[in-house]
Amino acid sequence: MTQDISRRGLMAGAALLTAGMPGIGMAFERDGNRKVLVFSGNQQVPVLDPHVRYDWSTRMIQQSVYDALLKYEGDPPRIVPWLAERYEVSPDGLTYTFHLVGNAKFHNGDPVDAEAVRFSFERGLKLNAGIAWMLKDFLKPENIAAVDARTVRFTLDRPFAPFISYVPWWYVVNPRQVRANQDGDDLGRKWLTENAAGSGPFRLRRFDANTLMHLDAVPDYWKGWPMADADRPSGIIYRIIREAAPRKAALQRREADIITNLTPDDIEQLSRVPGVVVENHKGSTTFGIKFNCQQGPTADINLRKAIAYAFDYDSLLAIHNGAAVLMTSPFPASMAGHIDVPGIPRKDLDKARDFLRRSRFPNGGIELEYVHVQGLEDARRIGLALLDSLRALDIRVNIVGQPWPTMTSRGSKPETSPNMMSVYVTPVGTDPDTVAYQYHRASWGLYYGTAHYENAEVSRWIDEARGETDNAKRMALYARIQTQIVADQPELFGMVANRIWARRDYVQGFTFSPVRFTGEIDLYPLWARG
Amino acid sequence: MLGYLLRRIGLAGLMLFGLVCLTFVISNVAPSDPAALAAGPDAGRSQIEQARRDYGLDKPLPEQFLRYLTDLAHGDFGRSIATGRSVGTDLARYFPATLELVILAMALGVLLGVPLGVLSALRKDGPADHATRIFAVSGIALPPFWFGLLLQLAFATWLGLLPTSGRLSVFTEPPPPITGLLLVDSLLTGNFGLFREALSHIILPAIVLSLPCLASILRVNRSEMVEALRMDYVTAARAHGVTPWRIVMVHALKNAMLPTLAIIGLRWGWMMSSTVLVETVFDWPGIGLYAVSSAIAGDFKPVMGVTLIVGLNFMIANLIVDLLYGVLDPRLRRA
């Protein structure tokens, strides 16, 4: 009886508390008679400037408000013409000439002309931040020429085969708007942090770095829209929800139409929810455990091999609930030139013991440090699997979680780089150079170069492949590079985890492309049915 | 009184300086390279060195510290390394959201904690006292992030009565700020729809934030009331036939409020810092969330800025409490 009363009291209290609250939980929001789609992820967009920063959430917004000469689309990724309708490469691989479409307009009505393209590449190189590393060693700002209003010519210092694969990430800004908002000689850097000066399918309506981005569709986008005119959404909101539970709740309640940053455990749970579709695609982000190849026990190649043969690779698949594929090469399978390297280590304890005997630690008896990003549960569990696997060799593993900035700082020098460090790397383009270069001597100390791997021959092949204009010869070089890297075992080659999104079933036009970053999708083709 | 005030302010200034030193040292002891962070994930060495120069990180630490102090004296909190934005501007943007949350949570804590404390003191060892004790102990013991997730699950996911997170619906553009406190601004402009929306968003985080505060106010107030009700002056008042209501509200409560006030002052500062947890769970765009996202990125200028603001709040709240003590207790005024 008392229980009844208290329950009634509780209900009354709850009713009182929420009396007059606005009704929430409708299907998609409408703006006039058009829909607004909501995409939710965990990562903020601190800097929108396309020449200063990129990460998955940032680039998703940049791709929506800006255009580039070319664009990546589809799976496997293709490079399609965008602001440029076509381009030519000179036979010596030094000169690239782009011919622009005639009808592209910036959001303020200014035409996108050759000068805008020249200005944008020059700005990217001069700011020397974000994307600059892609081209700065091969292209000088003065060697970009606006030949006429619709022709831009790039003259490289020396042949650089990956050039075209980076062009889609060089977004074009409106020079007039940038100059008008310049602060001193900052090339508009301060202003472009929170404002946009682009020609993309969406216009920036609201920028709130910590909360949300609201994008308005440009009705007369110069390139047109892929959906029927009546279906075109009024805009898209990128909403930041940091915790996984409320983000999933938002999808279930239709406060969000698509969400990302899901774990493999969520796949099953969400696919049971009526009206929710899970997008589960093979990714391109490689997971590897980098050995310190210069200092400490792991400088011994036999010990590295022993570890690689002792590790239980199936545990990687188990940890990801099967939503992952094992690496068969240092390159992810979506990468041009990828080969399945024959004899890439799989668990074989006899071989492992054999290599251990040949190492400086024939009986094990050592402790190795395994460092992973603090709070990253998958990486920690992989550490546990490693610990378990290496027991057979009498090698102890000390699993340490550290913040990412601390890890990168430790990994920058061979003296401080941990014995083993788990690192996820997403290649920035489809060209094999993006992955191969991680194993070049010049990458020492960068987050993907914490192994401090040295093989002068491999470095030389990588340089050679960069300048090779004959594609067949180039791919043959990459096959050699992959095989040699696996032989040297600078890291334990792990797996490529799937990319996962969940969306309401009325969301149409979802397209996956492995070249985009982890949570990133192309917002341009999205619309809502019904 | 004026001398007392000046002494207190001077002391607060010294403490603030200590805090500045401490935050600076802690941020620079942390083994990460801010220049690498500023330059971006794939940056090469030349880019990292350029970022180091841009942010003055190539200078020796004492020089950096001196520069930080000089900038602070001019009200400049420095620039965030991750965004390049001014930390002062960011703080000004995010602080009102935190302030609104803390004010509401404090109001809940005081308006519920004091009466419940009085009630349980009056019904000492009765069922009401036991019930509030259980409530208070769990209020202090529940981790805020867990309790927050639980409330979200109950009120947003299951019952669907309240939104899960945020300060306003994503479709509502916040009005131009007057005070920056949405509840106040919406009332000032007579926008009651906005008021309701803001209220529905703030309720859950405010409850979570207020719970430990409410619990400690309740417990302190209860024990002080129990003590006060035993005093001779209460017996004397009762003997004079003063109404029980007047005895409790005027004679006993006024005396019991002194330690309660101290707790309120401390809790104000505590709440400012626990917004770090609550704001993350509810994506509340305040300084707590700002501090968390910056700390994760290894961006220390914002963290230092938030620490200073929180520290300043601690000091101001305690200063006000000290002054109120003087008002409530005439003996302190003379001392």
For A257-271, what is each residue's pLDDT tens digit? Answer: 999 988 878 888 899
Cα–Cα distance, A493 to A288 (Å, whole number): 5
- Nearest residue of B to residue A211, measured between CA atoms: B285
**pLDDT, mean of residues A461-471:** 93
Report residue A11's pLDDT band, with 50, 70 and 90 as the boundaries.
very low
pLDDT per residue as tens digits for the range A361-374:
999 999 999 999 98
pLDDT at B258: 85
Domain that includes residue B110, residue range: 87-333
With a CB-CB cutoff of 8 Å, which residues 161-190 of chain A face chain B? 189-190
CATH number of the domain encompassing residue B291 = 1.10.3720.10
Residue B67 counted as domain residue? no
**CB contact A254 to B (< 8 Å):** no
The verdict on B259 and B311 lying in the same domain is yes
Helix (H) or strand (E) holding A130: none
pLDDT per residue as tens digits for the range A114-155:
999 999 999 999 998 889 999 999 999 999 999 999 999 999
pLDDT per residue as tens digits for the range A102-111:
999 999 999 9
Of A204-218, A272-286, A474-488, B291-305, least confident by mean pLDDT is: B291-305
Q: Is the pLDDT of residue B333 over 70?
A: no
Minimal Cβ distance to A212: which of B39, B80, B170: B170
The verdict on B16 and B117 lying in the same domain is no
The verdict on B269 and B126 lying in the same domain is yes
Q: Which residues contact B178 (CB under 8 A, 6 or more apart)?
A: B184, B185, B188, B189
Q: Is the pLDDT of residue A13 over 50?
A: no
Contact status, residue B248 vs residue B173, Cβ threshold 8 Å? no
Cβ contacts of B81 on chain A, cutoff 8 Å: none
The verdict on B25 and B106 lying in the same domain is no
Q: Per the CB < 8 Å rule, is B164 touching A405?
A: no
The verdict on B50 and B132 lying in the same domain is no
Minimal Cβ distance to B283: which of A36, A55, A241: A241
Residue B3, class by beta-carbon neighbours within 10 Å (0-12 exposed, 13-18 middle, 19+ buried)?
A: exposed
Sign of CA dihedral B277, B280, B286, B287: positive
The verdict on B157 and B20 lying in the same domain is no
pLDDT per residue as tens digits for the range A332-361:
998 999 999 999 999 999 999 999 999 999
pLDDT at B334: 57
Q: Is the pLDDT of residue B174 over 90?
A: no
pLDDT at B295: 85
Structure tokens at A259: 């969400």
Q: Is the pLDDT of residue A478 over 50?
A: yes
Q: Is the pLDDT of residue A280 over 80?
A: yes
Distance from CA of A409 to the nearest CA of B (A): 5
Q: Per the CB < 8 Å rule, is B50 touching A446?
A: no
Residue B131 counted as domain residue? yes
pLDDT per residue as tens digits for the range B99-131:
999 999 999 999 999 999 999 998 888 999 999
The verdict on B43 and B142 lying in the same domain is no
Of A193, A125, A208, whose CA–CA distance to B80 is shortest?
A: A193
Of A310, A318, A211, whose CA–CA distance to A264 is shortest?
A: A318
Of A193, A254, A182, A157, whose CA–CA distance to A61 is shortest?
A: A193
Q: State ipTM.
A: 0.85
Percent of chain A at pLDDT > 90 equals 80
Residue A34, class by beta-carbon neighbours within 10 Å (0-12 exposed, 13-18 middle, 19+ buried)?
A: middle
Which has more pLDDT, B245 or B335?
A: B245
Q: Is the pLDDT of residue A26 over 50?
A: no
Residue B173 counted as domain residue? yes
**pLDDT, mean of residues A391-410:** 92
The verdict on B25 and B128 lying in the same domain is no
The verdict on B253 and B291 lying in the same domain is yes
Residue B76 counted as domain residue? no
The verdict on B119 and B238 lying in the same domain is yes
Cα–Cα distance, A461 to A74 (Å, whole number): 30
pLDDT at B222: 92
The verdict on B186 and B295 lying in the same domain is yes
Which has more pLDDT, B317 or A501?
A: A501
b/e map of A472-488 (b: 16 or more CB within 10 Å)? eebbebbbebbbbbbeb
Of B41, B59, B77, which closes a domain?
B59
Q: Per the CB < 8 Å rule, is A128 touching B46?
A: yes
Q: Per the CB < 8 Å rule, is A189 touching B84?
A: yes
Query: Chain A interface, mutation test: which of B134, B157, B170, most A Cβ atoms within 10 Å?
Result: B170
pLDDT at B129: 92
Distance from CA of B11 to the nearest CA of A (A): 36
pLDDT at A22: 39
Of A2-6, B29-33, B61-65, least confident by mean pLDDT is: A2-6
Residue B72 counted as domain residue? no
Q: Is the pLDDT of residue A25 over 50?
A: no
Q: Per the CB < 8 Å rule, is B161 touching A18?
A: yes
Of A1-15, A274-288, B98-112, B146-160, least confident by mean pLDDT is: A1-15
The verdict on B94 and B52 lying in the same domain is no
Q: Per the CB < 8 Å rule, is B94 touching A210?
A: yes
Please, which residues bridge with residue A422 across strands?
A289
Q: Per the CB < 8 Å rule, is B43 touching A249?
A: no
Q: Per the CB < 8 Å rule, is B200 touching A446?
A: no
CA distances from B93 to A16, A100, B307 (A): 33, 42, 16
Q: Per the CB < 8 Å rule, is A18 touching B200?
A: yes
Residue B66 counted as domain residue? no
Cα–Cα distance, B279 to B285 (Å, whole number): 7
Query: Chain B interface, mutation test: which of A11, A47, A138, A211, most B Cβ atoms within 10 Å?
Result: A211
pLDDT at A309: 97
With a CB-CB cutoff of 8 Å, which residues 50-69 of chain A face chain B? 52-55
Distance from CA of B199 to the nearest CA of A (A): 8
Structure tokens at B242: 């003063």
Minimal Cβ distance to A211: which of B30, B50, B166: B166
Residue B68 counted as domain residue? no
Task: Tell me the DSSP string of A398-454.
Answer: EEEEE-HHHHHHHHTSTTTS-SEEEEEE--SSSSTHHHHGGGSGGGTTSGGGTT---
Q: Is the pLDDT of residue A9 over 70?
A: no
How many domains does chain B contain in total?
A: 2
